[in-house]
Amino acid sequence: MSLYMESSSIIDVAKYKMDMQGSIDAFEKKEPHILACIALLEAAERGEIEVLTANLTNSECQHLDGLHDEDVQETISFFVNVWKSHQARNRQCVYF
């Protein structure tokens, strides 16, 4: 199964994982969706599903609210590794 995930969802997941919930607009309303996205990304990491996203997502996720430090990079590397591991297994690009 394949699904498309917008960069805004991935950014919200990264902020959530970094305990930056205060910077997520309408956090209380979005939290169930963020948790669902986390579960989907973890399933992709296990190779159970394919997550598609735009080429610009990686660039858009490099800076969260102006932060560019090791914590941001560690969190974003989770997503990049999911995409790269999928590419290596399937020899195809999941970006479009």
Q: What is the pLDDT of residue 18?
A: 82
Q: What span, in angstroms and rounded, lies between the C-alpha atoms of 3 and 52?
A: 6
Cβ–Cβ under 8 Å, residues 82 and 70: no
Alpha helices in 1-96 (DSSP H): 7-17, 27-45, 56-60, 70-90
pLDDT digit string (tens) for 57-95? Answer: 767 776 666 666 666 666 666 666 665 555 555 544 444
pTM over 0.85: no
Nearest Cα neighbor of 3 from 51, 58, 40 is: 51
Contact between 20 and 76 (Cβ < 8 Å): no
With H, G, I as helix, E, B as strand and everything else as coil, classify residue 51: strand
| Spatial separation of the C-alpha atoms in residues 78 and 71, rounded to whole Å | 11
pLDDT tens, residue by residue, 1-34:
888 888 889 888 888 888 889 989 999 999 999 9
Domain residue limits, the chain: 2-90
